[in-house]
Amino acid sequence: MCGIVGCTGNQSVTPILVESLKRLEYRGYDSAGIATLNGAEIDVTKIEGKISELESILNFNNNACVGIGHTRWATHGVPSSTNAHPHVDCSGSVAVVHNGIIENFQALKEELKGRGHIFSSETDTEVIAHLIEETYNGDLECAVRDALSRVDGSYAIAVISDNEPDVIVAARKDSPLVVGLGDGENFVASDIPALRKFTNKVIYVNDGEIVRLTRNNVTVSTLDGLSVEKSVVIASGSVQDAERGGYEHFMLKEIHEQPKALRETMEDRLYELEGNVDFKELRAIEHAIEDIESISIIACGTSYHAGILGKYMLEDLVRIPVRVEYSSEFRYNNPLPGNKSLAICISQSGETADTLAAMNEARSQGYLTLAVTNVDGSTITRKADEILLTRSGTEIGVAATKTFTAQLLTLYMLGVYIARMKTLIDVETSRYMISSLKAVPGLIESLLDDINNIEKCALQVCEADCCYFIGRGLNYPIALEGALKMKEISYIRAEGFPAGELKHGPLALITTGTPVIALVPKGKTYYKMLGNIKEVKARNANVTAVANNSDDEIPKYVDSVIRIPDIDELFSPMLTAVVLQLLAYYTAKFKGAEIDQPRNLAKSVTVE
Ligand code: AGP
Summarize the confidence of residues 491-497 as an average pLDDT: 97
Q: What are phi and psi of 114, to 5 degrees?
A: -60, -25
Distance CA 533, CA 169 (A): 60
Summarize the confidence of residues 282-294 as an average pLDDT: 93
Nearest CA to ligand 1 atom 5: 301
pLDDT classification of 604: cutoffs 50, 70, 90: confident
User: Are 182 and 195 spatial neighbours (Cβ–Cβ below 8 Å)?
Assistant: no
pLDDT at 529 over 90: yes
User: Are 408 and 419 spatial neighbours (Cβ–Cβ below 8 Å)?
Assistant: no
Query: What pLDDT is stored for residue 174 in this prediction?
Result: 87
Nearest CA to ligand 1 atom 10: 301
The CATH number assigned to the domain with range 250-448 reads 3.40.50.10490
Distance CA 399, CA 406 (A): 14
pLDDT classification of 239: cutoffs 50, 70, 90: low
* Residues with a CB atom less than 6 Å from ligand 1: 300-303, 347-349, 352, 355, 398-400, 488, 605
How many whole angstroms from 290 Cα to the centroid of ligand 1? 30
Per-residue DSSP letter, 537: H
Query: What pLDDT is stored for residue 238 in this prediction?
Result: 67
Ligand 1 atom nearest residue 601's Cα:
4
Question: Which position among 2, 65, 345, 467 bears the catalytic label?
Answer: 2
Nearest CA to ligand 1 atom 9: 301
Ligand 1 atom nearest residue 604's Cα:
15
Q: What is the pLDDT of residues 164-205, one digit of tens each?
A: 999 999 999 989 999 999 999 999 999 888 998 999 999 999
Query: Buried b / exposed e across 491-523, counting CB within 10 Å, b at 16+?
Result: ebebbbbbbeebeeebbebbeeebbbbbbbbbb
- The whole-chain average pLDDT of the chain stands at 94
Distance CA 488, CA 449 (A): 25
**Residue 485 bears catalytic tag:** no
Q: What is the third-level CATH fold of 452-591?
A: Rossmann fold (3.40.50)
Per-residue DSSP letter, 413: H
Query: What pLDDT is stored for residue 61 in this prediction?
Result: 84
Percentage of the chain exceeding pLDDT 90: 88
How many whole angstroms from 342 Cα to the centroid of ligand 1? 22
Q: What is the pLDDT of residues 245-260, one digit of tens each?
A: 889 999 999 999 999 9
How many whole angstroms from 21 Cα to the centroid of ligand 1? 21
Residue with the bigger pLDDT between 103 and 335: it is 103
Query: What pLDDT is stored for residue 424 in this prediction?
Result: 95
Distance CA 532, CA 563 (A): 19
Q: What is the pLDDT of residues 48-66, one digit of tens each?
A: 999 999 999 998 888 899 9
Query: What pLDDT is stored for residue 377 in this prediction?
Result: 85
Query: What pLDDT is stored for residue 244 in this prediction?
Result: 82
Contacts of 106-115 with CB under 8 Å at 24 or more apart are 108/150, 108/151
> Of the candidates 242, 262, 239, which has an alpha carbon nearest to the alpha carbon of residue 253?
242
- Domains 3-242 and 452-591 in one fold: no
pLDDT at 606 over 90: no
Summarize the confidence of residues 449-477 as an average pLDDT: 95
Percentage of the chain exceeding pLDDT 70: 99
Distance CA 72, CA 81 (A): 11
Q: What is the dihedral of CA 600, 601, 604, 608, to 10 degrees?
A: 60
pLDDT at 479 over 90: yes
How many whole angstroms from 378 Cα to the centroid of ligand 1? 15
pLDDT classification of 20: cutoffs 50, 70, 90: very high
How many whole angstroms from 404 Cα to the centroid of ligand 1? 9
Nearest CA to ligand 1 atom 13: 347
Summarize the confidence of residues 274-289 as an average pLDDT: 94
Q: Where do the structural domains in the chain lie, given as residue ranges?
A: 3-242, 250-448, 452-591
Question: Which position among 311, 402, 589, 603 bears the catalytic label?
Answer: 603
Nearest CA to ligand 1 atom 8: 302
Query: What pLDDT is stored for residue 1 in this prediction?
Result: 73
Summarize the confidence of residues 267-292 as an average pLDDT: 94
CATH class of 3-242: alpha beta
Nearest CA to ligand 1 atom 6: 301
How many whole angstroms from 302 Cα to the centroid of ligand 1? 5
> Of the candidates 109, 145, 103, 99, which has an alpha carbon nearest to the alpha carbon of residue 130?
109
Ligand 1 atom nearest residue 352's Cα:
16
**Residue 2 bears catalytic tag:** yes
> Of the candidates 347, 361, 240, which has an alpha carbon nearest to the alpha carbon of residue 304?
347
pLDDT at 78 over 70: yes
Query: What pLDDT is stored for residue 129 in this prediction?
Result: 97
